[in-house]
Structures are given as C-alpha cells and as structure tokens.
Amino acid sequence: MKYLFFDIECSDGYHICSFGYVLVDDKMRILEKDDIVINPESKFILSPKSSRPKIELAYSDEYFYKQGNFTTQYEDIKKLLYKHKQIIFGHSISSDFHFLQYACQRYGLPAFELEGYDTQKIYKNYSKNDHVQSLEKIVDELNIQTDFQYHKSSDDAHATFLIAKRICKKCEISLEELASRYPDCKVSTADFEQKAKKTRFIDKVEQLKEQYKHIKKKGKIAFGEVFNKIKKDLRLTLVEEIYKRGYEFTTKINECNMFVYGDEGTDRFKFCQKLISKGRKIKLFKVEEFASLLKIEPALFK
C-alpha cells in the first residue's frame, strides 16, 4: 500500500498555482516529494481581507507565470492521484478536491473521481478539540520540529504526512489503520456532485416559487419518501404543477400543512405524526388522494 499526501496552493482562492505531494510506503518512508508549479492564468490575490496578513507563496509571481497552465500538468497529476493500492490524505482535503474539480471544469478536462482522508478532521477527532486547526497550529501542538516553508505545497504536504505519522506513533497504528479508525473523515468527490444536484434542484424550486408568486396559496405541501420514487427528470414537473394549482412545495415537514405519503412505516411519516400529536395542523394525503386533488396521474409516483 502507498500513501499520497498532497496540498494545493491557489493564486486567489480558486485558481491552482502549485500541486505539492509526498508519497510514502507502508513503513512511512518517503518515496517521492515534489512541487508541481502551475501558471494559474489569473491575478495573485493573497490577502482577501485587509485584516489578514498576506500569504507568502514559495515563488515569485513571475516564476508562476513562466510555467505551463493546468492542462500541461493534468496527466501527471492524474497519474499521482490514481496510483493503484493507494490511500490519499490531505489537510482540509475537500478544499483541494474542489480546486481540482474547478480546474478541470475551467479547461474542459474530465473531472477526477477521488476519495481521501482529511487530516484536519482526523486531528480534531483525535485531540477531541471542538475547533478545526490550521496546519501550522497542529504542527506546533504535536511538537513536530520542521524548517518547512508554509504555503509551499510540497512542504505543506510533508507537514501533513508528519502529523499523520505522529498520530500513528502515539496510537501505535499504521497509516492504513488510521484511515480505518476515522471513516467519518473520508471525503469523496461523488459527494460534491450530489450536493450540487441538490443545490440545483433547490434553486429551480425557488425560481418556480418566484414565477407563480402571484397565485394565492392554498397550502404548503411536503412529501414522504414517496417523492424519491419519482423519476428525477419528473420531480420539477410535479413541483411546477403544485405551484400552478395554487400550492407551495417544501422539503421540510415542520413547515408544511399538507403531507403526502405512500408508506406509513417510513421515518418521515412517523415524524409527521409526531408533529400532529403535538398539536400541529397537518392534513395527511395518500398518493391517490393527492393526485386527485391536483388532477395529476398517480402513475407519476411509480
């Protein structure tokens, strides 16, 4: 098993200017360490708020601009990330995954499908600290002696590795066991797409709400798990029919006064009943009753 620790720096919080990494083996020996420098093709804005000190990167702006852009390094980065029998770690790794996906989208390249472990979250759980900590702060708390240059991607990746190594030593476990011990600290790019789809759906619902705001509302409708059985491309069609007929749609049961269900044994139905038992006025509709009310085909729910 190999273990890749990587870190990304950006010119402005979005555009990648370096991809640094450390590759280690099962015995925690460093096999490779490198800093892939990239022309971000954007301005360097390294102090987004005047109250914050300016970030000092490892190279001059001119040096970054002399390098090839992300497309010239895409294949090499892909090979690193897709090595066989490898576990990936990173400090606040979800941010780095987002940077990579943004770069792929920007240049029209196939997006990466990745999963890795967030050492920032691992340390939070290990130390039982309620606050997330910066890389430098964790290095200090663990008394790791380094002469690294922070915000140099390869050094930040190396520091991330030393943090994981120190935790492993204190717990007497391997890097593979560290990953297994903290499954909740795993991050996947697949999760990003699910969140994006949910956001797009919510945005479109808001557009429909605005489009039909002139129609007086007769009630606010929420659904049980039956909504998930509707084909994805028909869900917005149903929501539009709801607004056209003078009703409102919500995903939150505690906001509705009408609830549509298919199975009484589901968690959402039970939660709705609990609200009713506490005095909430929510009218229950079986799918067929709701379809009749809105004059739509019950087959939509199958």
Measured from the Cβ of residue 130, the count of other Cβ atoms closer than 10 Å reads 6
State whether 37 and 178 are in the same domain: yes
Does residue 179 share a domain with residue 266? no
> Range of 172's domain?
2-193
Report the pLDDT value the prediction gives residue 131, as an integer from 0 to 100: 78
pLDDT of 211 over the 70 cut: yes
Give me the pLDDT at residue 265, please.
85
Average per-residue pLDDT in the chain? 90
So what's the pLDDT on residue 51? 44
> Do residue 71 and residue 217 come from a single domain?
no
Residues 6 and 98 in one domain: yes
Can you tell me the mean pLDDT for 137-150?
A: 90
- Give exposure, 45-58, as e/b (b: 16+ Cβ within 10 Å): ebeeeeeeeeeebb
Same domain? For 170 and 232 the reply is no
Q: Quick one: pLDDT band at residue 228, thresholds 50, 70, 90?
A: confident
At residue 52, does pLDDT exceed 90? no
Q: Is the domain of 65 the same as that of 161?
A: yes
Q: Are 42 and 175 found together in one domain?
A: yes
**CATH code where residue 33 lies:** 3.30.420.10
- Residue 251 in any domain: the answer is yes
Token output for 195: 């969140």
Domain assignment present for 59:
yes
Q: What is the mean pLDDT of residues 220-245?
A: 88
Residue 206 included in any domain: no
Given 146, 161, 193, which residue is the final one in a domain? 193
CB 256 within 8 A of CB 282: yes
Question: CATH number for the domain including 239?
Answer: 3.40.50.10190
In angstroms, rounded to a whole number, what is the distance separating the alpha carbons of residues 81 and 96? 12
DSSP code per residue over 64-130:
HHTS--HHHHHHHHHHHHT-SSEEEEETTHHHHHHHHHHHHHHHTPPPP--EEEEHHHHHHHHHT-S
pLDDT of residue 195: 65
Look at 96-105, 139-148, 253-262, 289-298 and tell me which has the smallest mean pLDDT: 289-298
Q: Is residue 217 part of a domain?
A: yes
Phi, psi of 279 (to 5 degrees): 105, -5
For residue 118, pLDDT over 90 is answered with: yes
Residue 202 lies in a domain: no
The reply to whether 216 falls in a domain is yes
| Residue 242 covered by a domain | yes
Q: In what order do the strands lie in the sheet with 258-261?
A: 248-249, 220-223, 258-261, 283-286
Q: What's the whole-number mean pLDDT along residues 67-72?
A: 97
The whole-number average pLDDT for the span 189-215 is 80
Do residue 11 and residue 123 come from a single domain?
A: yes
Which one of 127, 162, 193 terminates a domain? 193
- pLDDT higher than threshold 80 for residue 302: no
pLDDT at position 50: 46
Ranking 13-27, 42-56, 229-243, 259-273 by mean pLDDT, the lowest is: 42-56
Decide if 200 is inside a domain.
no
Domain count within the chain? 2
Question: Do 35 and 98 belong to one domain?
Answer: yes
pLDDT above 70 as % of the chain:
93
| pTM > 0.75 | no
Do 106 and 219 fall within a single domain?
no
Together in a domain, 184 and 244: no
